[in-house]
A and B are shown apart, each in its own frame.
Chain A
Amino acid sequence: MWKRRSSSELQVIDHYQNRMKARHENMKEGERDFNKDKESLVKPVREIVVPGDLLDSGKLKPGDGTYLSNGKIYASQLGIKSIKSNFVNVIPLGGPYIPSPGDSVIGKIVDIGPSNWLVDINSPYPAPLHVTEVPWKVEFGDTARYLNIGDTILAKVLLVDETKRVQVTMKEQGLRKLQGGQIIDISHSKVPRVIGKGGSMIQMIKSYTNCRIFVGQNGRIWLDGDIENIVYAIRAIKMIEEGAQTLRLTERVKEYLESMTRSGLNGKQQ
């Protein structure tokens, strides 16, 4: 069905396109960061902004977490202001996980149909997983034999349509049903912090605890290993999530893991 679009809808579309552009730019910028091209880095502005705060009134373009009104850019979300490649963005400090195609996520099966499953990926939208998107050949009506309600899977977001309908896939190497270990949920906005610069934080947790850890972009984390070590790793991640005294966070997590793994049962293994 084709509908004429009102001007406000067009504004929204404009805004959406700007967001996509900003995301694209950020990605390029991110790669450059990774290549240690320090020269191109804009000095970060660590400023917490709340909805309605004026971010820029002329030069910059509206990016994520912002909106344009009368030529000025305002924050639309609670977060940290960041300027990159002429785009002003707000990095959210909370809020729902909104899936993007290609995101690696950890999902929970919440419903089963004869030819699909419904997967909770910690977002406002449960995502269908069709039998054609799993690595097994599943007969019609035989879905429960492969994945049951309450099962956890490693999946990728396949597509997100205009009305935010989401589909996930398991048809890629490494995607599978997860078994054993433990699952925890954190705010998806804390995922980068748990991973740390260049993966340093998560690497540190892994090396101290010998746990395998998957961090889904939807804020769900799966850990597997010795059960005592899983408990320590979870506490370390919770420390990072709560983030009090952020200044010495890395050191504090390290101190905690050191003390636990030294005194704990696995101290003998080291």
Chain B
Amino acid sequence: MARSVMSEIKKDHIHRLLARGKRVDGRNWDEFREITIQTNFTETAEGSARVKLGNTDVLVGVKMETGIPFPDTPDKGVLATNAELIPLASPTFEPGPPDENAIELARVVDRGIRESEMIDLDALCIVPNEEVWICFVDIYVLDYDGNLFDASFLGAVAALKSTIVPASRYGKGEDFKLPIRCLPMSVTAVQIENSILVDPTLDEEKVAAARLTVTTDENGDIRAMQKGLKGSLTVDQIKKIIETSQRLGKELRKLVG
């Protein structure tokens, strides 16, 4: 518990800087931290990407297996997303099965990929009703300094884009690139005393009242959203974050390009 108490002085400092339109690390309100993406980090994965977003560090891998389709989608492949907040990444992460934070993270990433129809799941059907490709996206947080949503999403998109389906290993013909239809991008912002800040650091997340993640596609259409934390957002704030997500999504997409 002692590990998570934030000092009042630190909170006040963030607020006072914000009152002057400034952030602790000197960024603009709509500025991401430095991003590096390293694809094909793990050879044993069918696709992988390590994303550093400032001091946040996330490794995402894709494994493909064959399996039985869901009865309601007998001719579609399956997407399964999982996130692990391993204790290596932060003094506040505990060993054990995914907690509510890890599950929320996995589901928000999953939703963005699924709803944008990024993966052509029809092309992952081997025999309708019998056998399809299952696409496992596993997210591992290695270093935690805020905004896991965007780091993980960027990692998932980059990993999926680099994925080769190992069909020959399963005796299902030749290997092929995972069929990708579009590149959705997620942008997360927090509200602190009615200021909106994109790509919050851990300290900013700790003082934030509310958080909103908006996932948009290449047309700028909204494909997934998630509001989090215990405070509220006004409709105007939400609209501002959507507009920002569309604009910054274009820039982020170039990194995966």
**A68 interfacial contact with B, CB 8 Å:** no
Which of chain A's residues have a CB closer than 8 A to the CB of B11?
Answer: 150
Which of chain A's residues have a CB closer than 8 A to the CB of B229?
Answer: none
**B230 interfacial contact with A, CB 8 Å:** no
Which of chain A's residues have a CB closer than 8 A to the CB of B235?
Answer: none
The closest CB in chain A to the CB of B20 belongs to: A227
The distance in angstroms between the C-alpha atoms of A111 and B2, with both chains bound, is 8
**A222 interfacial contact with B, CB 8 Å:** yes
The closest CB in chain A to the CB of B17 belongs to: A227
Docked-complex contact A110 and B9, CB < 8 angstroms = no
**A180 interfacial contact with B, CB 8 Å:** yes
**B7 interfacial contact with A, CB 8 Å:** yes
**A187 interfacial contact with B, CB 8 Å:** no
Q: In the complex, how many residues of chain A place their beta carbon closer than 8 angstroms to a beta carbon of chain B?
A: 22
**B6 interfacial contact with A, CB 8 Å:** yes
> B81-122 toward A: CB 8 Å interface, digit per residue (1/0)?
000000000000000000000000000000000000000000
**A266 interfacial contact with B, CB 8 Å:** no
Docked-complex contact A222 and B9, CB < 8 angstroms = yes
The closest CB in chain A to the CB of B2 belongs to: A110
Docked-complex contact A150 and B6, CB < 8 angstroms = yes
Main secondary structure of the interface of B (DSSP, over half): helix
Which of chain B's residues have a CB closer than 8 A to the CB of A110?
Answer: 1-2, 5
Which of chain B's residues have a CB closer than 8 A to the CB of A150?
Answer: 5-8, 11
Which of chain A's residues have a CB closer than 8 A to the CB of B5?
Answer: 108-110, 120, 149-150
> B154-198 toward A: CB 8 Å interface, digit per residue (1/0)?
000000000000000000000000000000000000000000000
**Residue in B7, B12, B16, B22 with the greatest tally of chain A CB atoms within 10 Å:** B7
Output the least CB separation between A231 and chain B (Å): 8
Which of chain B's residues have a CB closer than 8 A to the CB of A166?
Answer: none
The distance in angstroms between the C-alpha atoms of A180 and B11, with both chains bound, is 10
**A178 interfacial contact with B, CB 8 Å:** yes
Residue among A120, A152, A183 making CB contact with B2, cutoff 8 Å? A120
Docked-complex contact A182 and B10, CB < 8 angstroms = yes
Docked-complex contact A126 and B9, CB < 8 angstroms = no
Given A181-B13, A227-B20, A151-B2 contact (CB < 8 Å): no
> B1-44 toward A: CB 8 Å interface, digit per residue (1/0)?
11001111111110011001010001000000000000000000
Given A182-B13, A227-B20, A111-B6 contact (CB < 8 Å): no
The distance in angstroms between the C-alpha atoms of A258 and B159, with both chains bound, is 45
The closest CB in chain B to the CB of A227 belongs to: B16
**A207 interfacial contact with B, CB 8 Å:** no
Docked-complex contact A182 and B2, CB < 8 angstroms = no
The distance in angstroms between the C-alpha atoms of A109 and B5, with both chains bound, is 8
Which of chain A's residues have a CB closer than 8 A to the CB of B7?
Answer: 108, 150-152, 183
Which of chain B's residues have a CB closer than 8 A to the CB of A148?
Answer: 8
**Residue in B9, B12, B16 with the greatest tally of chain A CB atoms within 10 Å:** B9
**A270 interfacial contact with B, CB 8 Å:** no
The closest CB in chain A to the CB of B19 belongs to: A227
**A118 interfacial contact with B, CB 8 Å:** yes
> A232-268 toward B: CB 8 Å interface, digit per residue (1/0)?
0000000000000000000000000000000000000
The distance in angstroms between the C-alpha atoms of A150 and B11, with both chains bound, is 10
**A7 interfacial contact with B, CB 8 Å:** no
The distance in angstroms between the C-alpha atoms of A222 and B13, with both chains bound, is 12
The distance in angstroms between the C-alpha atoms of A183 and B20, with both chains bound, is 19
The distance in angstroms between the C-alpha atoms of A148 and B8, with both chains bound, is 10
The closest CB in chain A to the CB of B22 belongs to: A231
Given A227-B17, A227-B20, A179-B2 contact (CB < 8 Å): no
Docked-complex contact A181 and B9, CB < 8 angstroms = yes
Task: Give A182-222 interface residues, CB cut-off 8 Å to B.
Answer: 182-183, 222
Which of chain A's residues have a CB closer than 8 A to the CB of B12?
Answer: 180
The distance in angstroms between the C-alpha atoms of A180 and B13, with both chains bound, is 8
Docked-complex contact B8 and A126, CB < 8 angstroms = no
Given A227-B16, A227-B17, A178-B9 contact (CB < 8 Å): yes
The distance in angstroms between the C-alpha atoms of A152 and B22, with both chains bound, is 24
Q: 30 A-B Cβ contacts within 8 A?
A: A108-B5, A108-B7, A109-B5, A110-B1, A110-B2, A110-B5, A111-B1, A118-B2, A120-B2, A120-B5, A126-B2, A149-B5, A150-B7, A151-B7, A152-B7, A152-B9, A178-B9, A180-B9, A180-B12, A181-B13, A183-B7, A183-B10, A183-B13, A222-B9, A227-B13, A227-B16, A227-B17, A227-B20, A230-B13, A231-B26
Give 6 nearest A-B pairs by CB, closest first.
A110-B2, A182-B13, A150-B8, A110-B5, A183-B9, A108-B7
| Additional pairs, 9, CB under 8 Å, beyond known A120-B5, A180-B9, A183-B13 | A111-B2, A118-B2, A126-B2, A150-B7, A182-B9, A182-B13, A183-B7, A183-B10, A231-B17
